Amino acid sequence: MPHLGNMQNIGTRYAESGLGFSAWFEAGRALRARLMPLLLDAYAGQPARLAAAVRGVAIFVDLAMVAVGGAYVTTKERIIGAQEEAIRELSTPVLELEPGLLILPAIGIIDSDRARGLTERLLYGIADRRAKTVVLDVTAAFWICARSSLTSGATLGRSSANSA
């Protein structure tokens, strides 16, 4: 149905523009309120047709609300996912102090998922910048999960060239 596709586009635009969930719900309520007096006038004295028209409007508005709501939620989930990824990247920067020397300041709680991402970014930074030395600054870390790659030593450690 082309109209439902249009409703999905509206839901996407609502989510991207930052309108709250209640804004589109209020629009559906306003549509029902506007249509009811028109139906009463059009079908006065025809109770069976009035009842069918009221049911039809209710079904139409419900379907539109489902389409708008589904697109709204899907778009919000996409936006939140992108924001979470940006926060992860910003929360564990790999900084080059000088050629061959990187520092990774670990801040806050480092659980196993965050440690995995941190390790990934660090290994990429080492390869990309051809670093020979890495400083992992954990002075601002509140807690590091004992099962994370940061504590296992299996992924990160001193190479034999730097262990002297």
pTM of the full structure: 0.59
pLDDT value of residue 5: 83
pLDDT value of residue 84: 87
Co-location of 72 and 107 in the same domain: no
Give the total number of structural domains in the chain: 2
Question: Do the domain assignments include residue 161?
Answer: no
Contact 148, 142 (CB under 8 A): no
Co-location of 84 and 99 in the same domain: no
Question: Do the domain assignments include residue 12?
Answer: yes
Co-location of 20 and 47 in the same domain: yes
Q: Give 10-residue mean pLDDT values along the chain (164 residues).
A: 81 87 84 93 95 94 89 93 85 89 88 84 93 90 65 45 41
Distances (CA, A) of 32 to 62, 87, 137: 10, 41, 59
Question: Do the domain assignments include residue 164?
Answer: no
Contact 25, 36 (CB under 8 A): no
State which of 89, 110, 131 marks the end of a domain.
89
pLDDT value of residue 162: 44
List CB contacts of 53: < 8 A, sequence separation 6 or more: 39, 42, 43
